[in-house]
Every structure is written in C-alpha cells, then in structure tokens.
Chain A
Amino acid sequence: MSRLPFDEPKVPKVPKVPKVPEVPEVPVAEVLRAVAPARTILTVSELNATIRDLLENELQNVWVEGEISNARVWNTGHMYFTLKDGASQIKAVMFRSAVRYLKFKPEDGLKVVARGKISVYDPKGEYQILCEHMEPKGLGSLQQAFEQLKKKLAAEGLFDPARKRPLPALPRRIGLVTSIDGAALRDMVRVLRRRYPNAHLVISATRVQGEGAGREVAHAIRKVARIEAVDVIIVARGGGSLEDLWAFNEEVLARAIVASPVPVISGVGHETDFTICDFVADLRAPTPSAAAELVVGRKDEFFKNIDRISGRLDAAIHHRVRRMETRLHVLESRPGYAGFEGRIAVRGRHVSELAGALRQRISQGFARRARRHELLRRSLDQFDPRHRLAAVRTRLVSRDGQLTAAVRRRLSVAGTRLGTLAARIDGLSPLAVLGRGYSVTWDASRTRIIRDASTLTPGDGVSVTLERGTFDATVTKTGS
C-alpha cells in the first residue's frame, strides 16, 4: 500500500491543475499542486490527511463486485476481508452494525456485490472499502442464506429422521403458533373443529413477518410449549414470497423448534414452499390446513376404532368361555365322573334295546311266517302240496335274507356311533384341562368326586388330583 494509485481515472476529477511540463514526475506531484500551493512541502501526515479527504469525499458511495478472501470476524463483531478479482484486490471491512443485517454468511470464495465508501487510515497510509451492504452475486442473498443455514443445521443432524418425534394420537391440547389475524389461523380452527369438535386449542399469537419476526415466533413456541397439557404445536403461516416467509428460515426459530419439549408440525406457506422450519420440525405439512388435518384424527374414527377393538375383546372372551364350557362337559364325561357312566349306560341300554327289539322282531317275523307257512302247508296239503310248497319256500328264503341285511345295517350304525363316542373320549386327556389349573377333588377313598361342598364337614379327608400328582387334605371349613 506504499504506492497510492492516484494515476487512476479518478484523478481528472481533482480540481484543475495547471500542467507543469518541465516537471515530468510521478502523478503524485500533480496532486500536490492541485491541493496546495506549488512547492509547499507537506509532512507525511498532511499528505495522508489530504489523500483521505480526497478519497473519502469522492468515493462515498461505490458499488464493487469481487470475491471475498481472508474473511474473518473479530470478537468485536467487525468483519475484515479482502475483495479481489483476477488482477487486483482491496482491503475491506464491515462493521458489526452492518454485519448483523446480512442475510448470509460471507465466506471466502463467495462472489459478492458490496456497497460502501472508501476510508483511509492515516497512520498507515492505507485505504480500504468500508462495506455497508453486501449481497451474494448470483443467488439472491436470501436464497444464499437459506442454503447456508440449511447446510449448517443439516450438518448438526437436526434434520435427521431419527430425531423426529411421533405425534400423540390424541393431544390433550393443541398449540397454534401463528398470526392472530391471519387466514392460517382461521383455516386451522375450521379444520380442527370439523375433525375433532371438542378439541382444546391454545393460540400463541406472534408476528410472522418483518424484521425480528423469527425471534418472536421462537418466543411464541417456547411460551405455548410451557402450557400444561399442550401435547403438540403447529407453527403456521399462509403463503408468501421468500421475503414474507423469511422468519421461518431464521436460525433462532429453528433452534426453538429443536428445543421444544413436544413435537412441532410446520405448516408454512404453500405446497411448494420449503423453509428451514419445515426441515427441522417433527412433521412438515404443506399448508396450515393440512397441518390441522395431521395433528388429530377424526373423532368418529377414534370411536370406531375403539369399538372395533372392544368388539374383538368381547368376542375373544366369549369364545374362550365357550371353549371352557365344552371342556367342562367333556371332563364330566370322563370315567370316574358319575355323569359319564350314566351317559354310557344310557347309550349301552339304547343299543342293547335296539338289538333286543330287532331280535324280537326277527323272531316275531319268523314266528309269523312259520304260522303262515303252517297254514299254507295245510291248505296246500289239501290241494297241490308239492308245487305250492316249493314256491312258498323260495319266497320265504328271500324274505329272510332281506330281513337279516336290514338288521345288520342298523346294528352297524349303532356300533359306529358307540365307536365314535369312545374315540372322542379317548382323544381328550384330562391332563389338558388339569394343566390349566383345574383339579379334581375326591373323597378320602377316591371312589367319589366331590361336587358339592355341603356334602363335606370339617375334619373329612379328601384327596386331590392335580396335573402332576395327588395329595390328601383335611377339610377345615366349608362354604357355599
């Protein structure tokens, strides 16, 4: 910076200086003549002060385009960097007051357009551009800022699906963070009323656009999250330009969502708008109304679902009880149970009666036929005994055959029924039932099953059969 580039095109703007052809020196001389009487000798300080006045007056508001390099922010909050192009560079500074309005983070290599004024630092004879505003070249600065924050938060893992919390099925209270007079709030209230008429809504009103809106939305989220029984929060805003939606791209808001103790649904803008808020929220809804649809199921469907499950519960227990009853009946049919023997006896009697009846019929049939035979024989004897006798005999034999077949069939049916019954009983082990905790209580001699406590008196001995083993016991008390 030792050589001041005063031979630049700015020079002609300096107050008119008479040419001094006999002194073809460096242009510095010309400048000196312009501002001071000829041959006045300046101190270095005076020279630099003069230069400062010139530059700072002439270059108060310049736009410059270049690439950022050596950018660093000091702990004062001021940012120092260099702007350069392919052939040249200039020192640059941006004070904290301007830095905080930047919508993007100036990084090395970033091409920017900056507006500022030239400032000269007398003690070192250096100059720099003091930037008041800067925007990325190419991408709009908002877009740039969006991409940068998105990258940063993604790197922190804040968009990880694993971080997303499930929504409660039935939130006790629903927090709505939005503008009190926006269409978004009205839309959400309408949808929620329709789906779940007795929903309890808690509105946390906030500005949703303009300078500082991000901070306010963040504050509104924290406020409503502290309300008791608020189980889920919707952060919503209607559609708008990228600038309108800017609050939802601010880091402070993203951090508030991450810190929320309950899940947050983002319903910002339209279907096609994506904000940082969308990425960091536990669930993204395309619009405020859609967010309201997602936050709670339809009340009637809840009821339907519970009734369906309850119906299955009832059916299952009834089935269970019926099966148990069947098993009890089977148990009663076991040998050793009085009921069984009776039933078998009934069946046995039935079969034997059937067989007896058949036998009786057969013999009756024979007797009848014998009688008829006798009658015929007598009449035949009277008329033409041989031929007629032969004919009658044939018919008799045939009839007998038919009768025997019928008896055999009926006996066989009865036998099959008996066999089936026996097979069924053998297939059912009493242990299967005892295995479920049932026991059989016998009298002390194990000849009779105790079915009625009133048949016992304290002091009686009983014997109990369990799934595994038996034991004897003494009755100490009876009850009904």
Chain B
Amino acid sequence: MADSKTDPTIKDFEAAIAELEGIVKKLEEGDLALEKSLELYERGVQLSRFCHSRLEEAERRIEIVNERGELKPAPASLRLPDDEDES
C-alpha cells in the first residue's frame, strides 16, 4: 500500500482509474502476447491498489484557514453535531 501511494508513475486518482480502464479494455479485446498481458495485469493490480489506498487515505478532518494562511482545527461546534448526525 505504502509504495502504491507514492508511486511516481501514477499521477492521481483519475489518471489511475482511466489507465486501469484502458488496461482492462486492452486485455478484454486485444490478442496480446502472453507476456504483455501479464505485464498489463500487474500494472492493473498496482493501479487498483493505488485507488483503494487513495480512497482510504484522506483523513476525516475539518480545518479552518486563519489570516496567515495556516490551518487550524475548526470549532468543535462544527464537528460534534455533525458527528452525532451520522447513523
């Protein structure tokens, strides 16, 4: 997981999804050499892992920017009622 997060060959979530879809299409349609197929499959697995980790990596957090452009925790009033709302 850790290496897929920082993988320099994957730009972002969208790029990963798009590439993954392209790979699936190629594998489904193309009469590729076995070696190439396996290569694509490995890349696909890597992309899929990256997407999974991206979906989980964002932290549940609310912050507020102050005048100096620094991030501070948002007032508790904004967080608590909301957290209770969720069922």
Q: Taking the complex as formed, is A184 at the interface, i.e. its CB lies under 8 A from any CB of chain B?
A: no
Interface residues of A in 147-204 (CB under 8 A from B): 168-170, 172-173, 180, 185-186, 189-190, 193-194, 196-204
CA distance A170 to B13 in the complex (A): 7
Size bracket, chain B contacts: 35 or more
Given contacts A227-B71, A313-B45, contact A168 B65 (CB under 8 A): no
A202 smallest CB distance to B (angstroms): 5
Contact call A193/B82, Cβ cutoff below 8 A = yes
Classify the secondary structure of B's interface with A: helix
CA distance A196 to B58 in the complex (A): 10
Given contacts A302-B55, A313-B41, A316-B27, contact A180 B64 (CB under 8 A): yes
Interface residues of A in 276-314 (CB under 8 A from B): 299, 302-303, 305-306, 309-310, 312-313
Q: Taking the complex as formed, is B1 at the interface, i.e. its CB lies under 8 A from any CB of chain A?
A: no
Contact call B44/A306, Cβ cutoff below 8 A = no
In the complex, the chain B residue whose C-beta lies closest to that of A310 is B48
CA distance A168 to B15 in the complex (A): 10
Contact call A202/B13, Cβ cutoff below 8 A = no
Contact call A320/B37, Cβ cutoff below 8 A = yes
Contact call B75/A303, Cβ cutoff below 8 A = no
Residues in A neighbouring B51, C-beta threshold 8 A: 302, 306
Q: Which of A172, A173, A189 has the most CB of B within 10 A?
A: A189
Interface string of B47-85 (1 = CB under 8 A from A): 010011011101111111100010100110010011101
CA distance A81 to B82 in the complex (A): 57
Q: Which of A168, A312, A317, A436 has the most CB of B within 10 A?
A: A317
Contact call A168/B71, Cβ cutoff below 8 A = no
Given contacts A169-B14, A189-B82, A201-B61, contact A309 B20 (CB under 8 A): yes
Residues in A neighbouring B82, C-beta threshold 8 A: 186, 189-190, 193
Residues in B neighbouring A227, C-beta threshold 8 A: 65, 69, 71
CA distance A201 to B34 in the complex (A): 45
Chain B residues with a Cβ under 8 A of chain A: 12-14, 17, 20-21, 23-24, 27-28, 32-35, 37-38, 41, 44-45, 48, 51-52, 54-56, 58-65, 69, 71, 74-75, 78, 81-83, 85-86
Chain A residues with a Cβ under 8 A of chain B: 168-170, 172-173, 180, 185-186, 189-190, 193-194, 196-205, 220, 223-224, 226-227, 299, 302-303, 305-306, 309-310, 312-313, 316-317, 320-321, 324, 436-437
Extra pairs beyond A220-B65, A223-B65, A324-B34 (12, CB < 8 Å): A169-B14, A170-B54, A190-B82, A196-B58, A197-B60, A224-B65, A227-B69, A309-B48, A310-B20, A310-B44, A313-B44, A320-B34
